[in-house]
Chain A
Amino acid sequence: MTAPAITPDIVAQHQLTPEEYQKIIHILGRAPNLTELGIFSVMWSEHCSYKSSRIHLKKLPTRGKLVVQGPGENAGIIDIGQGYVIAFKIESHNHPSFIEPFQGAATGVGGILRDIFTMGARPIAVLDSLRFGKLDDPATGARNRRILSGVVGGIAHYGNCFGVPTVGGECIFESCYDGNPLVNAFALGVCRKDEVFYAKAAGVGNPVIYVGARTGRDGIHGASMASAEFTEESKQKRPNVQVGDPFMEKLLLEACIEAMHTGAIVGIQDMGAAGLTCSTCEMGSRGGVGIEIELDRVPQRESGMTPYDIMLSESQERMLLVAEKGREEEVYRVFRKWGLEAAEIGVVTGDGKLRVRQHGEIVAEIPNRQLADEAPLYNRPYTRPPQRAEVAGPGPAPLQTQDALPALIASADICSKRWIWQQYDYQVRTNTIAGPGAEAAIVRIKETGASVAISLDGNGRYCYLNPREGAKLAVAECCRNLATSGSVPVAATNNLNFGNPERPEIMAQLVEAIEGIAEACVFFDTPITGGNVSLYNETLGEGIYPTPVLGIVGTLKTAAPVTIPFKHAGRAVMLVGGIGACNDLDFGGTQYAKSILKQLWGQPPALDMDYEKRVHDAIREILAEGLAESAHDLSDGGLAVALAECSFGPAGVGAQLDIDSDLRPEFLAFHEAPSRILISTLNANTKRVDAIAEKHGVVAPVVGVTIEKGIEIRQRSMTLGSWEIAALKHSYETALESHLSQGAANV
């Protein structure tokens, strides 16, 4: 067999630049063969190497007193006390989910779950942040609905079968996600602090063991696909999307955790993006050792696979581990019990090289460290983010508050996502204290008796208007959700979804957003312990809004949480943080501007981080003293939407608000200034709530009273709108299904 010569064309097909190719020649001291070129191309892809973002990611805070493991491992690890830690991370599967929604999303969940249990932690919660194109768009709606159904079905299929509860998330619809849906999956697991495993090879002579599913030709070059823009040809890349087997993953989980307990495992890493290539060279690099493998021993699903195929395959549900020499049988025994294949495919060496043999002959030989850690690093030029034409401000409102609220409640962004989360098993493991639809998800840790709260948030509209401020707002919103659930934020993970970084204005969005996250995460004391960067989210030159998604985790003691709905009539309604400010400029990123005015202009709402934090301290203290019967933060759709959501509880209790404010009526009802939380409390408690608020330097005006039926908002005694709860609630709960079926009827 004669190896094809490496031509500039072949180099280009591997998405390597001529300079990068020269660097490869320099590292090897010779020209690479095709297998080696393939190995370099995946390891140096944007997806694996973060070559465009790494310089800026260094700005993120990664240390903290609870951080056991920061970025650089499969997941970040945080100490939660009593000898236990949690491991968590968020990761994207955007590109595969566009090409094949069901399997793309399913394997996205599979990948993040492996990242968690690779570290020895049993996954106990999954959340998803989703973005799709508009469901009722005449041109793209049908495809968007198909993608939504497929993605939700895929997440459900994988998570439900695996046995991890999908406890929350978010889902937003914008035209910019038409050709680039975003599927960001977050997972969190728990384990004993002294039983954490790392993806590090060690001990020259130790066996390298392959476990799990066999290797096929699926997913070859998935990592590179995720590192390029979509074109018409991308649709031909369907074979690049892997197929998930959640049952296999469940067995792999149980077997890996049991095998770890034997004490015979030195290091372990899952085979995700870039498969066998990534796991071998990264484990070797982290341990400062070499790894030699023989491809003939790799369990294969089909015959005639080349070294190139085997090394680049992204077949799912596979793990690579290094065991202690002489104790292999202990490991094999566990995998046999679970009916899984395990094969010794190689050995740890002392020469720092990744050496790959087939039929005994060397087919690739590359220094691990240079391959894994010396990927090219780009400080790509950046100018300033694209600017939106400054609009003077909204004209007269086309809809009065009375009609605007029902319209917003029924919009796809704001309506209940029950149609989605009802397809997820959100209760398995019987730890879900607050599930989908709650302020933040809360999951009990049976091992310690404590609980963790999790919130995911991102706002592409805000970030498009101002990436730095939009990113800070996402951090603030997550922390506010956690505070409103009674928990203290401790650490964060982020998923940076952006367009093509080779365009200076897109690169500017990325830089600004990272700096915004850094600033806010330092301020709120939530170090970033890991995450993911997804670039090139563009189709035919159309980029997405810059969409950094934050996942922040907090801790709290296990107890029944204070929930969103009003419980009883005759209670005082208070707005912790106050009415907030809004002007023409700040109103342009709101849901009202989007759904009612069909515009986007100006700036995101102004955030005062210091005030925000004091609001968090105040609400936590109010909740801890048992003063609030209900609590809900103001977010998309502002005060009116929050009020409606508080009125959709089983008690059917609504409220009548009368607000003393000079704001324009639509601003008052729908502006989205942060740092505001709506609570209901016994009249006798308002003084105490006030005192707590004052102590923290925030206002908490009484804005109304809960009532037996109906919702009403007044401004200085003048009614802006009054609504019957049942009709609003029905529309809130069924709107997403209507968007899906009405759209379908139009086809």
Chain B
Amino acid sequence: MPKDSLSKNLKDNIQLIKDKFNDDMLKSREILNINNENVKIALIYFGLLVNREFIQDSIVKPILEYKEKFGPKDLINTFGRSIINASEFEVNSDIDEICYELMYGKTILIIDGYKEVLIIETNGRITRTPNEPEAEMVLRGPRGGFTESLMNNISALRRIILTPDLKFIYLKIGKETNVYMTYTYIEGLVDTRALKEFEKKLYEMKLDAVVDSNTVAEAISYRGMSPLEIVGQTERPDTLAAKLLEGKIGVMLEGSPVAITLPFLFAENFQTNEDYYVNTFFASISRLARLIGFLISTLLPGLYVAIITYHWEIVPTRIALAILQSQEGLTLPTPIEAIFMLGVFEILRETGIRTPSGLGQSMSIVGALVVGQSAIQARVASPIMVIIVALTAMTALINYKLKGATIFFRVLVLFAGIFFGLYGITVCVYFILFHLFSKKSFGVQYTELFFPFKKGNLKDTFIRATGEGMGRLDDGDK
């Protein structure tokens, strides 16, 4: 069957396009200029996707009010250059391209007698106002955020980095969704090794449907069995700009407010943009708190169970007395108690996210009652275990980016502690360290900024040094 293609007949072309979509929202409108009655012109567009005022003022009105003859030939280009009032237009005859552009909110201008059409930028899709993202709120600093519109996001980024070296490369991905994607970097600053590796992965990627940037992120990362991410995600233009200025690459997708940054290093899990907007001492303390929080959240339950069941002599006398007092008459062995309490917390956390805000408050009260007082009174859990789980829970939420990894490592360490005591935990921690140190994110060592301790790196890891500029990634082969 021959491929569909445009003809020189206006009505046939209109019908062809309408048949492609079979959608009532696809509107067509014929325009007749009194001074050029022999020239038949039609517009096709999706009603909800276009800016109708723009079509009215910048396309229809100029055509209708044109007082002279259009000209004998190359009317398509004449219209684009001289008659209509659009900032962007394109001439095309590929029916698939034309259909894609229609879906993108553009208007097609067809002239009878021409196979080519004029594709005019009239995007009027409703997007939401850029709000500060909930997961990346700051006390002090810019309040912007990305939206689902790629163009808005690009313009937000351009407003921050005013240099022609900021490059955007556009492509379409997803066999079914054909979504616009762009990757961006600053020429001269970018880590060329990482860029090469990323581009290689990108062009090898085969995706059917892409609705969110996370799909792209998973496709380009070769994570294996690791819970740690090698691509970062952000919804803030200032964060993305900062990463680009460090030599990283950003990826944005139409329809997703989440931008991906790569390479992503382990140290970045503990960095927030707010660190650079506030006083250095406060920032350093916050950063240390995050690091310590990560360690507590991962190690505390396992350590507690290991010490209580294998290495009781470590516990100072008075604390041992208090623990013994609280353990008397408990119905569950310590490891089961720990697993039970941690499991209940995870269920409560998940319920809290999924429940509409009205019910959420009731759930938190139920949770507090169940996990707290009643469990202790019923001798299902000891007060010390409730404190341990509460601490673990609170510190887990400090590092939102690491939530998956924290839970995974916590479970590993807990089971290592249950079965082998502190020696098992040591071995488990070393397994995790080996995994961390072996990992690479697009050619860069995952622990590049942390280890080994280099004076330059320490400026922005455990602390945030005064006057810290955005450092560059090493471009060497280490």
| Bound together | no
Chain A residues within 8 Å of B, Cβ to Cβ: none
